[in-house]
Chain A
């Protein structure tokens, strides 16, 4: 990896704001991506993830605020491809150009030795398609080529927008392993994805945004822990159980199929309440929050409590 940059976060976004006319795509977003970690960048569709990434990379001008990569604005990096590798889209290829030509152009443009092309083609499994025109590629192959382009300069920082889109399961597993090793070797990864299970498996930290605003920035563990535990219970007398739970200080939410999720009470206490009220239970289990649940809890409105 290149030795560009010093101490401090790999990426630092400070009060980043982007307006398109009257609509605010990114609203005062501040977060950081440390070296030696994989940071998942999560948010619903239209949350402003791609716009934020483009501002970090100097492709879009912030309305206000700033972003620094390895301590400097992207445009001021000496050899940007050797500092940051970015894969933002699978459409940024000339359909009449081969993968090898595409990468050679980027090498020459970015001051990267052209002999880097073959190793990255090899590494991303694209060697056998190197002379095929990109117009004939599947989505997965384009994704691999975008990733190959990101690796050309042996960067310290990777910025990847939905990199698992279109990859087959083997490709997804390879990507996960690669990102983990990259971070363990001291690199920094900012990766957006809607595949929350993938993010949960590979990310150390997450930045969650919605409607351009920061909702959470924490370790995956802390975020999931904050989601807490709940008790899933199904009974023949839901109304009686709800009353008993509420009187005992718990909260109840319907989760469908006759089941409910109880928070604020231990599983043993829920069982005791049911026994005391003579309520037959068909299901009683503890559920630990997942990243997906933590994400949904942050980004979707609170569902109404069940009526008594």
Chain B
């Protein structure tokens, strides 16, 4: 299994998509952090519930809110599976490693590792920008364990998203459908679902597990961290099992 995970990571690093996604994630995260810090003092922002960063808890919230990494991680992870079918490399993969369950498991582990890396990197960038910005304004906020923990939680959230996305990619095979489906779900279906059916929001794969990764959800009732963690595991296993089951029955 370790060899297969290494191979999946090698596949990621030997093409350029990860660079594009990293630039996008870092760029979006940096931009949203700077905008948040710059506009937080305005009356309009405060009227919308955005407050200046004054405490460690504010800093922790900023780490969660400014991160724009998840969407890029979803695209990258889905592509780790769908590119195999788009370019026909799945044949070579299954000739080298015929167990489709092992291959999809390796892809999930590799994608989660990449997601963790992206999430931690983006959250760290948010924190670094915020600390420098605030220091420039003469504000010093101690970066305690809770803020560092937020970086880890953001990494885990991206790892979770990546593990889901690679399973969705393997199940759907079509790159376009998988990416549009994931982004559509993240940005349209879940926000709409949360607004229209708040009672069901806590079962959704992203909004529902927010509690497990330190994110608060003000618009819907969600599980606490333990329940959210269980839900996250259920979602990952369900998507993984669906992908394996479909893949075992299909020709390459």
Contact = CB atoms under 8 A, between A and B. Distances in A.
Interface string A28-41: 00000000000000
A109 B3 contact: yes
A94 interface: yes
Interface residues of B, number: 27
B88 interface: yes
Contact of B251 (A61, A75, A80, A108): A61
Contacts of A58: 94, 98
B100 to A, nearest CB: 9
Given A75-B98, A80-B98, A92-B88, A61 B10 contact: no
A274 to B, nearest CB: 58
Given A54-B252, A101-B14, A86 B95 contact: yes
A80 B90 CA distance: 15
B97 interface: yes
B91 A59 contact: yes
A77 B249 contact: no
B88 A91 contact: yes
Contact of B15 (A86, A97, A109): A97
B251 A92 contact: no
A105 interface: yes
A53 B98 CA distance: 15
Nearest to B98: A75
Contacts of B6: 108
Interface in A87-127: 88-89, 91-98, 101, 104-106, 108-111
A250 to B, nearest CB: 50
Contact of B14 (A60, A95, A105): A105
Interface in B1-44: 3-4, 6-7, 10-11, 14-17
A240 B154 CA distance: 94
A224 B251 CA distance: 36
A149 interface: yes
A110 B99 CA distance: 11
A92 B92 contact: yes
B89 interface: yes
Contacts of A149: 92
Contacts of A106: 92, 96
Contacts of B87: 91-95
Interface in A63-84: 74-75, 77, 80-81, 84
Given A75-B99, A80-B98, A110-B96, A94 B252 contact: no
B93 A109 contact: yes
A58 B92 CA distance: 12
A57 interface: yes
Interface residues of A, number: 32
B83 interface: yes
Given A97-B15, A105-B7, A110-B96, A92 B89 contact: yes
A59 B97 CA distance: 11
Contact of B249 (A61, A81, A110): A61
A77 B95 CA distance: 10
Contacts of A74: 98
B96 to A, nearest CB: 3
Contact of B96 (A96, A101, A109): A109
B14 A98 contact: yes
Contact of A105 (B10, B91, B95, B249): B10
B11 A105 contact: yes
A61 B98 CA distance: 12
A60 B96 contact: no
B5 to A, nearest CB: 10
B99 A60 contact: no
B240 to A, nearest CB: 19
B231 to A, nearest CB: 33
Given A54-B252, A75-B98, A101-B14, A109 B7 contact: yes
A200 to B, nearest CB: 29
A94 B15 CA distance: 8
Nearest to A108: B7
Q: Lowest 3 A-B CB distances belong to which pairs?
A: A110-B96, A109-B7, A101-B14
Interface of B: 3-4, 6-7, 10-11, 14-17, 83, 87-99, 249, 251-252
Given A81-B96, A105-B11, A149-B92, 9 more contacts: A74-B98, A92-B88, A92-B91, A92-B92, A93-B87, A97-B11, A98-B14, A101-B14, A109-B97
21 contacts: A58-B94, A61-B249, A75-B98, A77-B98, A80-B95, A80-B97, A93-B88, A93-B89, A94-B11, A94-B83, A94-B87, A94-B89, A95-B87, A96-B15, A97-B11, A97-B14, A97-B15, A98-B14, A105-B11, A106-B92, A110-B96
